[in-house]
Amino acid sequence: MSKYRKDFPCYEHYPNLAYLDSAASSQKVACVLEAMTKTYTERYANVHRGIYHLSDIATGDFEAARVTVGKYFNANPDQIIFVRGATEAINLVATSFTQEFLQEGDEVIISRMEHHANIVPWYRLCHEKKAKLVVIECDAKGVLDMDAYRNAFNPKTKMVALTHISNVLGTINPAKEMIAIAKSHQVPILIDGAQAAAHIPVDISDLDPDFYTASAHKMYGPTGVGFLYVKKEHLKGMSPYQSGGNMIASVSFDDITYLEGPMRFEAGTPHIAGSIGFARACEYMMDVGMSYIQSHEQALLMYLQEQIETVDGLEVFGQAPNKIGIVSFAMKGVHPHDIASILDEDEVAVRAGHHCAMPLVKSMNQPALTRISLGLNNNERDIDQCIKSLKKVREIFSA
Ligand code: PLP
Protein backbone atom coordinates (compact mmCIF):
# COMPACT_ATOMS: atom_id res chain seq x y z
CA MET A 1 0.00 0.00 0.00
CA SER A 2 1.43 3.39 -0.90
CA LYS A 3 1.59 5.39 2.30
CA TYR A 4 1.26 8.50 0.16
CA ARG A 5 -2.05 7.55 -1.48
CA LYS A 6 -3.91 9.51 1.21
CA ASP A 7 -2.26 12.68 -0.10
CA PHE A 8 -4.33 12.45 -3.31
CA PRO A 9 -7.84 13.88 -2.77
CA CYS A 10 -9.17 12.26 -5.95
CA TYR A 11 -9.54 8.99 -3.99
CA GLU A 12 -11.98 10.67 -1.59
CA HIS A 13 -14.26 11.09 -4.60
CA TYR A 14 -13.37 7.84 -6.38
CA PRO A 15 -12.34 5.38 -3.67
CA ASN A 16 -12.28 2.44 -6.09
CA LEU A 17 -10.43 4.19 -8.89
CA ALA A 18 -7.34 2.48 -10.28
CA TYR A 19 -5.72 5.51 -11.87
CA LEU A 20 -3.03 4.16 -14.17
CA ASP A 21 -2.51 7.14 -16.47
CA SER A 22 0.08 9.29 -14.70
CA ALA A 23 2.19 9.43 -17.86
CA ALA A 24 -0.59 11.45 -19.50
CA SER A 25 -1.14 13.58 -16.42
CA SER A 26 -0.77 12.75 -12.76
CA GLN A 27 -3.43 13.21 -10.10
CA LYS A 28 -2.78 16.11 -7.74
CA VAL A 29 -1.61 16.11 -4.16
CA ALA A 30 -3.58 18.10 -1.58
CA CYS A 31 -0.68 20.36 -0.60
CA VAL A 32 -0.39 21.64 -4.20
CA LEU A 33 -4.08 22.51 -4.29
CA GLU A 34 -3.82 24.16 -0.86
CA ALA A 35 -0.82 26.24 -1.96
CA MET A 36 -2.69 27.43 -5.05
CA THR A 37 -5.85 28.23 -3.09
CA LYS A 38 -3.79 30.11 -0.55
CA THR A 39 -2.19 32.12 -3.33
CA TYR A 40 -5.55 33.07 -4.82
CA THR A 41 -7.23 33.79 -1.48
CA GLU A 42 -4.53 35.30 0.71
CA ARG A 43 -1.48 36.20 -1.31
CA TYR A 44 -2.68 37.21 -4.76
CA ALA A 45 -1.91 40.14 -7.03
CA ASN A 46 -0.07 40.49 -10.31
CA VAL A 47 3.68 40.10 -10.15
CA HIS A 48 6.67 42.28 -11.02
CA ARG A 49 4.64 45.48 -11.26
CA GLY A 50 2.77 46.46 -8.12
CA ILE A 51 4.23 48.69 -5.45
CA TYR A 52 1.70 47.61 -2.83
CA HIS A 53 1.96 44.92 -0.16
CA LEU A 54 0.04 42.09 -1.86
CA SER A 55 1.90 42.48 -5.11
CA ASP A 56 5.16 42.31 -3.20
CA ILE A 57 4.03 39.09 -1.51
CA ALA A 58 2.89 37.53 -4.80
CA THR A 59 6.14 38.52 -6.54
CA GLY A 60 8.15 37.06 -3.67
CA ASP A 61 6.19 33.79 -3.80
CA PHE A 62 6.49 33.58 -7.57
CA GLU A 63 10.25 34.14 -7.54
CA ALA A 64 10.62 31.74 -4.59
CA ALA A 65 8.86 29.15 -6.76
CA ARG A 66 11.57 29.56 -9.38
CA VAL A 67 14.20 28.92 -6.70
CA THR A 68 12.39 25.76 -5.52
CA VAL A 69 12.03 24.39 -9.05
CA GLY A 70 15.73 25.12 -9.57
CA LYS A 71 16.51 23.27 -6.34
CA TYR A 72 14.49 20.22 -7.37
CA PHE A 73 16.41 19.97 -10.63
CA ASN A 74 19.70 21.21 -9.15
CA ALA A 75 19.80 24.14 -11.56
CA ASN A 76 20.47 27.83 -11.12
CA PRO A 77 17.05 29.56 -10.84
CA ASP A 78 18.35 32.38 -13.03
CA GLN A 79 18.30 29.86 -15.85
CA ILE A 80 14.77 28.58 -15.20
CA ILE A 81 12.09 30.01 -17.50
CA PHE A 82 8.47 29.35 -16.56
CA VAL A 83 6.52 28.20 -19.61
CA ARG A 84 3.17 26.49 -20.25
CA GLY A 85 4.82 23.08 -20.36
CA ALA A 86 7.30 20.94 -22.26
CA THR A 87 5.54 21.62 -25.56
CA GLU A 88 5.94 25.36 -25.24
CA ALA A 89 9.54 24.97 -24.05
CA ILE A 90 10.53 22.96 -27.13
CA ASN A 91 8.77 25.42 -29.43
CA LEU A 92 10.61 28.22 -27.65
CA VAL A 93 14.00 26.61 -28.28
CA ALA A 94 13.18 25.80 -31.92
CA THR A 95 11.99 29.36 -32.53
CA SER A 96 14.23 31.57 -30.42
CA PHE A 97 17.40 29.53 -30.66
CA THR A 98 17.74 26.99 -33.49
CA GLN A 99 15.81 29.03 -36.05
CA GLU A 100 18.43 31.76 -35.74
CA PHE A 101 21.24 29.64 -37.19
CA LEU A 102 19.76 26.60 -38.95
CA GLN A 103 20.44 26.71 -42.68
CA GLU A 104 19.55 24.75 -45.78
CA GLY A 105 21.18 21.32 -45.73
CA ASP A 106 21.81 21.36 -41.96
CA GLU A 107 20.69 18.44 -39.80
CA VAL A 108 18.71 18.10 -36.58
CA ILE A 109 18.92 14.81 -34.67
CA ILE A 110 15.86 13.41 -32.93
CA SER A 111 14.84 9.80 -32.22
CA ARG A 112 12.10 7.34 -33.14
CA MET A 113 10.79 7.40 -29.58
CA GLU A 114 10.03 11.13 -29.37
CA HIS A 115 6.66 12.51 -28.32
CA HIS A 116 5.06 14.69 -31.01
CA ALA A 117 6.04 17.69 -28.87
CA ASN A 118 9.67 16.91 -29.71
CA ILE A 119 9.04 16.05 -33.36
CA VAL A 120 6.61 18.57 -34.80
CA PRO A 121 8.51 21.80 -33.91
CA TRP A 122 11.71 20.31 -35.43
CA TYR A 123 9.89 18.97 -38.48
CA ARG A 124 8.37 22.39 -39.11
CA LEU A 125 11.66 24.19 -38.63
CA CYS A 126 13.53 21.77 -40.89
CA HIS A 127 10.79 22.09 -43.50
CA GLU A 128 10.99 25.88 -43.39
CA LYS A 129 14.80 25.94 -43.59
CA LYS A 130 15.16 23.01 -46.01
CA ALA A 131 17.15 21.22 -43.34
CA LYS A 132 17.07 17.48 -42.61
CA LEU A 133 15.55 15.65 -39.67
CA VAL A 134 17.81 12.72 -38.76
CA VAL A 135 16.01 10.01 -36.79
CA ILE A 136 17.85 7.64 -34.43
CA GLU A 137 16.12 4.27 -34.24
CA CYS A 138 15.61 2.01 -31.26
CA ASP A 139 15.77 -1.78 -31.12
CA ALA A 140 12.95 -4.27 -30.55
CA LYS A 141 13.28 -3.89 -26.78
CA GLY A 142 12.94 -0.13 -27.04
CA VAL A 143 16.59 0.72 -26.39
CA LEU A 144 17.97 3.70 -28.27
CA ASP A 145 20.68 2.79 -30.81
CA MET A 146 23.59 4.67 -29.27
CA ASP A 147 26.00 3.58 -32.01
CA ALA A 148 23.69 5.06 -34.62
CA TYR A 149 23.50 8.22 -32.51
CA ARG A 150 27.30 8.46 -32.24
CA ASN A 151 27.64 7.94 -35.98
CA ALA A 152 24.91 10.40 -36.91
CA PHE A 153 27.08 13.45 -36.21
CA ASN A 154 28.73 15.23 -39.09
CA PRO A 155 29.62 18.87 -39.82
CA LYS A 156 26.02 19.54 -40.88
CA THR A 157 24.59 18.49 -37.49
CA LYS A 158 23.40 21.67 -35.78
CA MET A 159 20.95 20.57 -33.08
CA VAL A 160 19.99 17.50 -31.05
CA ALA A 161 16.63 17.03 -29.31
CA LEU A 162 16.09 13.76 -27.46
CA THR A 163 13.75 12.47 -24.84
CA HIS A 164 15.05 11.47 -21.42
CA ILE A 165 12.32 8.82 -21.02
CA SER A 166 9.94 7.47 -23.64
CA ASN A 167 6.27 8.02 -22.81
CA VAL A 168 5.34 4.80 -24.67
CA LEU A 169 8.18 2.41 -23.82
CA GLY A 170 9.25 3.77 -20.45
CA THR A 171 12.89 3.48 -21.59
CA ILE A 172 15.29 5.64 -19.58
CA ASN A 173 17.77 6.95 -22.10
CA PRO A 174 21.40 7.55 -21.06
CA ALA A 175 20.98 11.31 -20.92
CA LYS A 176 24.44 12.03 -19.55
CA GLU A 177 26.09 10.08 -22.35
CA MET A 178 23.81 11.58 -25.00
CA ILE A 179 24.71 15.06 -23.80
CA ALA A 180 28.45 14.29 -23.62
CA ILE A 181 28.41 13.01 -27.20
CA ALA A 182 26.62 16.11 -28.51
CA LYS A 183 29.01 18.28 -26.53
CA SER A 184 32.04 16.53 -28.02
CA HIS A 185 30.76 17.66 -31.44
CA GLN A 186 29.92 21.17 -30.14
CA VAL A 187 26.27 20.62 -31.03
CA PRO A 188 23.62 22.01 -28.66
CA ILE A 189 21.27 19.45 -27.15
CA LEU A 190 17.78 19.69 -25.70
CA ILE A 191 16.54 16.96 -23.36
CA ASP A 192 12.79 16.48 -23.07
CA GLY A 193 12.35 15.48 -19.44
CA ALA A 194 8.53 15.41 -19.40
CA GLN A 195 8.44 11.74 -18.38
CA ALA A 196 11.56 11.80 -16.23
CA ALA A 197 10.94 14.62 -13.77
CA ALA A 198 8.58 12.77 -11.41
CA HIS A 199 10.21 9.35 -11.57
CA ILE A 200 14.00 9.55 -11.54
CA PRO A 201 16.47 12.04 -10.06
CA VAL A 202 17.25 14.78 -12.57
CA ASP A 203 20.41 16.70 -11.76
CA ILE A 204 20.72 19.36 -14.42
CA SER A 205 24.07 20.66 -13.14
CA ASP A 206 25.49 17.18 -13.43
CA LEU A 207 23.89 16.40 -16.81
CA ASP A 208 24.86 19.81 -18.19
CA PRO A 209 22.52 19.93 -21.21
CA ASP A 210 21.99 23.10 -23.23
CA PHE A 211 18.25 22.88 -22.63
CA TYR A 212 16.06 20.75 -20.36
CA THR A 213 12.31 20.86 -19.95
CA ALA A 214 9.44 19.27 -18.00
CA SER A 215 5.75 19.93 -17.27
CA ALA A 216 4.31 20.35 -13.75
CA HIS A 217 1.13 18.40 -14.51
CA LYS A 218 3.07 15.14 -14.80
CA MET A 219 4.71 15.88 -11.43
CA TYR A 220 1.57 15.99 -9.24
CA GLY A 221 1.40 19.72 -9.96
CA PRO A 222 -0.99 21.92 -11.95
CA THR A 223 -1.59 22.06 -15.69
CA GLY A 224 -0.50 25.06 -17.73
CA VAL A 225 2.97 25.42 -16.26
CA GLY A 226 6.40 23.88 -16.72
CA PHE A 227 9.93 25.06 -17.10
CA LEU A 228 12.72 25.41 -19.59
CA TYR A 229 16.29 25.37 -18.35
CA VAL A 230 18.68 27.24 -20.62
CA LYS A 231 22.44 27.21 -20.39
CA LYS A 232 23.79 30.65 -19.46
CA GLU A 233 25.78 31.11 -22.64
CA HIS A 234 22.60 30.74 -24.74
CA LEU A 235 20.26 32.72 -22.50
CA LYS A 236 21.94 36.02 -23.30
CA GLY A 237 21.93 35.63 -27.06
CA MET A 238 18.45 34.22 -27.54
CA SER A 239 15.80 36.47 -29.02
CA PRO A 240 12.41 36.76 -27.31
CA TYR A 241 9.83 34.07 -28.04
CA GLN A 242 6.64 36.00 -27.39
CA SER A 243 6.63 39.73 -26.73
CA GLY A 244 4.62 42.24 -24.73
CA GLY A 245 4.61 43.27 -21.10
CA ASN A 246 6.81 41.77 -18.38
CA MET A 247 9.74 41.11 -20.76
CA ILE A 248 10.89 44.61 -21.67
CA ALA A 249 13.35 47.03 -20.11
CA SER A 250 12.07 50.03 -22.09
CA VAL A 251 9.66 50.70 -24.94
CA SER A 252 9.32 53.64 -27.27
CA PHE A 253 7.88 53.70 -30.78
CA ASP A 254 11.42 53.86 -32.11
CA ASP A 255 13.28 51.44 -29.92
CA ILE A 256 12.68 48.55 -27.52
CA THR A 257 15.10 46.94 -25.14
CA TYR A 258 14.40 43.59 -23.51
CA LEU A 259 15.05 42.28 -20.05
CA GLU A 260 17.86 39.82 -19.55
CA GLY A 261 17.40 36.40 -17.98
CA PRO A 262 14.28 34.24 -17.74
CA MET A 263 11.85 37.18 -17.75
CA ARG A 264 12.85 37.99 -21.31
CA PHE A 265 10.94 34.82 -22.25
CA GLU A 266 7.97 35.27 -19.91
CA ALA A 267 5.87 37.81 -21.81
CA GLY A 268 2.55 38.75 -20.22
CA THR A 269 1.10 37.75 -16.88
CA PRO A 270 2.56 34.38 -15.95
CA HIS A 271 0.72 31.44 -14.39
CA ILE A 272 1.39 32.82 -10.89
CA ALA A 273 -0.57 30.33 -8.79
CA GLY A 274 0.45 27.53 -11.15
CA SER A 275 4.14 28.24 -10.70
CA ILE A 276 3.66 28.31 -6.92
CA GLY A 277 1.74 25.01 -7.15
CA PHE A 278 4.54 23.59 -9.31
CA ALA A 279 7.09 24.54 -6.64
CA ARG A 280 4.91 22.95 -3.95
CA ALA A 281 4.80 19.73 -5.98
CA CYS A 282 8.61 19.81 -6.18
CA GLU A 283 8.81 20.33 -2.41
CA TYR A 284 6.38 17.48 -1.88
CA MET A 285 8.52 15.10 -3.94
CA MET A 286 11.69 16.26 -2.20
CA ASP A 287 9.99 15.51 1.15
CA VAL A 288 8.94 12.04 -0.02
CA GLY A 289 12.41 11.51 -1.43
CA MET A 290 13.34 10.35 -4.90
CA SER A 291 14.80 7.11 -3.57
CA TYR A 292 11.42 6.17 -2.06
CA ILE A 293 9.60 7.19 -5.26
CA GLN A 294 11.93 5.09 -7.38
CA SER A 295 11.86 2.00 -5.19
CA HIS A 296 8.07 2.16 -4.84
CA GLU A 297 7.53 2.50 -8.58
CA GLN A 298 10.13 -0.13 -9.50
CA ALA A 299 8.53 -2.65 -7.12
CA LEU A 300 5.14 -1.95 -8.69
CA LEU A 301 6.59 -2.21 -12.19
CA MET A 302 8.03 -5.65 -11.40
CA TYR A 303 4.67 -6.76 -10.01
CA LEU A 304 2.85 -5.39 -13.06
CA GLN A 305 5.27 -7.07 -15.48
CA GLU A 306 4.77 -10.38 -13.65
CA GLN A 307 1.00 -10.08 -13.55
CA ILE A 308 0.54 -8.97 -17.14
CA GLU A 309 2.16 -12.23 -18.27
CA THR A 310 -0.90 -14.02 -16.86
CA VAL A 311 -3.22 -12.38 -19.41
CA ASP A 312 -3.48 -14.38 -22.63
CA GLY A 313 -2.81 -12.89 -26.02
CA LEU A 314 -0.92 -9.76 -24.96
CA GLU A 315 2.13 -8.38 -26.65
CA VAL A 316 4.09 -5.96 -24.49
CA PHE A 317 6.22 -3.27 -26.14
CA GLY A 318 9.20 -1.77 -24.35
CA GLN A 319 11.44 -4.24 -22.52
CA ALA A 320 14.44 -2.01 -21.93
CA PRO A 321 16.44 -3.07 -18.86
CA ASN A 322 16.38 0.49 -17.58
CA LYS A 323 12.81 1.74 -17.55
CA ILE A 324 10.15 3.47 -15.45
CA GLY A 325 6.64 2.26 -14.66
CA ILE A 326 5.17 2.39 -18.13
CA VAL A 327 3.83 -0.75 -19.82
CA SER A 328 2.32 -0.50 -23.31
CA PHE A 329 0.72 -3.48 -24.98
CA ALA A 330 -1.55 -4.80 -27.71
CA MET A 331 -4.15 -7.50 -27.22
CA LYS A 332 -4.60 -9.72 -30.23
CA GLY A 333 -7.89 -9.01 -32.01
CA VAL A 334 -9.02 -6.24 -29.68
CA HIS A 335 -8.76 -2.53 -30.39
CA PRO A 336 -7.12 -0.56 -27.54
CA HIS A 337 -10.13 1.77 -27.42
CA ASP A 338 -12.36 -1.23 -26.63
CA ILE A 339 -9.91 -2.36 -23.96
CA ALA A 340 -9.84 1.08 -22.33
CA SER A 341 -13.65 1.38 -22.45
CA ILE A 342 -14.18 -1.98 -20.77
CA LEU A 343 -11.51 -1.20 -18.17
CA ASP A 344 -13.27 2.08 -17.50
CA GLU A 345 -16.43 0.14 -16.53
CA ASP A 346 -14.28 -1.45 -13.82
CA GLU A 347 -12.94 1.97 -12.73
CA VAL A 348 -9.55 1.36 -14.27
CA ALA A 349 -8.18 4.42 -16.08
CA VAL A 350 -5.57 3.65 -18.75
CA ARG A 351 -4.61 5.44 -21.93
CA ALA A 352 -5.33 4.01 -25.38
CA GLY A 353 -4.20 5.46 -28.67
CA HIS A 354 -1.02 6.54 -30.42
CA HIS A 355 0.23 8.35 -27.29
CA CYS A 356 1.35 11.34 -29.37
CA ALA A 357 4.11 9.12 -30.72
CA MET A 358 2.73 8.01 -34.08
CA PRO A 359 6.11 7.28 -35.73
CA LEU A 360 6.99 4.90 -32.89
CA VAL A 361 3.61 3.16 -32.64
CA LYS A 362 3.42 2.76 -36.44
CA SER A 363 6.91 1.22 -36.49
CA MET A 364 5.53 -1.52 -34.23
CA ASN A 365 2.85 -2.20 -36.86
CA GLN A 366 0.15 -1.24 -34.40
CA PRO A 367 -2.68 1.23 -35.04
CA ALA A 368 -2.66 2.06 -31.35
CA LEU A 369 -1.56 0.69 -27.99
CA THR A 370 -2.96 0.49 -24.48
CA ARG A 371 -0.70 2.00 -21.85
CA ILE A 372 -0.56 1.46 -18.10
CA SER A 373 1.55 4.03 -16.26
CA LEU A 374 2.43 4.13 -12.59
CA GLY A 375 3.00 6.82 -10.02
CA LEU A 376 3.47 7.43 -6.34
CA ASN A 377 -0.30 7.13 -5.78
CA ASN A 378 -0.54 3.55 -7.07
CA ASN A 379 -0.53 0.28 -5.18
CA GLU A 380 -0.73 -3.43 -5.96
CA ARG A 381 -4.51 -3.35 -5.66
CA ASP A 382 -4.66 -1.00 -8.68
CA ILE A 383 -2.67 -3.53 -10.68
CA ASP A 384 -4.83 -6.45 -9.53
CA GLN A 385 -7.96 -4.53 -10.51
CA CYS A 386 -6.48 -3.78 -13.93
CA ILE A 387 -5.32 -7.35 -14.57
CA LYS A 388 -8.72 -8.74 -13.53
CA SER A 389 -10.40 -6.38 -15.95
CA LEU A 390 -7.97 -7.24 -18.75
CA LYS A 391 -8.81 -10.93 -18.25
CA LYS A 392 -12.48 -10.01 -18.58
CA VAL A 393 -11.73 -8.25 -21.88
CA ARG A 394 -9.90 -11.36 -23.07
CA GLU A 395 -12.87 -13.52 -22.18
CA ILE A 396 -15.40 -11.25 -23.90
CA PHE A 397 -13.39 -11.20 -27.11
CA SER A 398 -12.61 -14.94 -27.04
CA ALA A 399 -16.25 -15.89 -26.66
N1 PLP B 1 7.37 14.96 -24.07
C2 PLP B 1 6.96 13.79 -23.57
C3 PLP B 1 7.92 12.65 -23.50
C4 PLP B 1 5.65 13.65 -23.12
O5 PLP B 1 5.24 12.49 -22.63
C6 PLP B 1 4.77 14.76 -23.20
C7 PLP B 1 3.37 14.64 -22.78
O8 PLP B 1 2.82 13.57 -22.75
C9 PLP B 1 5.27 15.96 -23.71
C10 PLP B 1 6.57 16.02 -24.14
C11 PLP B 1 4.41 17.17 -23.82
O12 PLP B 1 4.11 17.65 -22.56
P13 PLP B 1 3.01 18.78 -22.37
O14 PLP B 1 1.75 18.27 -23.02
O15 PLP B 1 2.89 18.91 -20.91
O16 PLP B 1 3.52 20.01 -23.02
Which residue from 116, 118, 219, 356 has its CB within 8 A of the most atoms of ligand 1, so it is best to mutate? 356
Residues 253 and 314 in one domain: no
Residues 293 and 283 in one domain: no
Q: How far apart are CA 210 and CA 179, in angstroms?
A: 9
Task: Choose one of 232, 252, 287: the last residue of a domain.
Answer: 287
Residue range(s) defining the domain that contains residue 355: 5-20+289-398
Task: Choose one of 237, 257, 287: the last residue of a domain.
Answer: 287
- pLDDT for 1 equals 56
CATH number at residue 13: 3.90.1150.10
Predicted model pTM: 0.97
- pLDDT for 237 equals 86
DSSP per position, 58-126: HHHHHHHHHHHHHHHTT--GGGEEEESSHHHHHHHHIIIIIHHH--TT-EEEEETT--GGGTHHHHHHH
Residues 283 and 337 in one domain: no
Which residue from 119, 120, 138, 167 has its CB within 8 A of the most atoms of ligand 1, so it is best to mutate? 167
- pLDDT for 386 equals 98
Residues 10 and 75 in one domain: no
Residues 141 and 42 in one domain: yes
Measured from CB, residues less than 6 Å from any atom of ligand 1 are 85-87, 115, 117-118, 163, 167, 192, 194-195, 215, 217, 356
Whether residue 245 is contained in a domain is answered as: yes
**Residue in 364, 361, 321, 359 with CA at minimum distance from that of residue 135:** 359
- pLDDT for 62 equals 98
Domains contained in the chain, number: 2
Residues 281 and 295 in one domain: no
Residues 305 and 267 in one domain: no
Strands (E), the chain: 18-19, 80-83, 107-111, 132-136, 157-163, 189-192, 211-215, 226-230, 248-251, 256-258, 314-317, 326-331, 348-349, 351-353, 369-373
Report the atom number in ligand 1 closest to the C-alpha of 192: 1
- Per-residue pLDDT of the chain in tens (399 residues, 90 and over written 9): 578 999 999 999 999 999 999 999 999 999 999 999 999 999 999 999 889 999 999 999 999 999 999 999 999 999 999 999 999 999 999 999 999 999 999 999 999 999 999 999 999 999 999 999 999 999 999 999 999 999 999 999 999 999 999 999 999 999 999 999 999 999 999 999 999 999 999 999 999 999 999 999 999 999 999 999 999 999 988 999 999 999 999 999 999 999 999 999 999 999 999 999 999 999 999 999 999 999 999 999 999 999 999 999 999 999 999 999 999 999 999 999 999 999 999 999 999 999 999 999 999 999 899 999 999 999 999 999 999 999 999 999 987
Task: Choose one of 253, 287, 321: the last residue of a domain.
Answer: 287
Residues 12 and 48 in one domain: no
The question of whether 31 is a catalytic residue gets the answer no
Residues 314 and 386 in one domain: yes
Residues 177 and 62 in one domain: yes
Report the atom number in ligand 1 closest to the C-alpha of 356: 8
Residues 36 and 14 in one domain: no
**Which of the following is catalytic: 138, 282, 356, 386?**
356
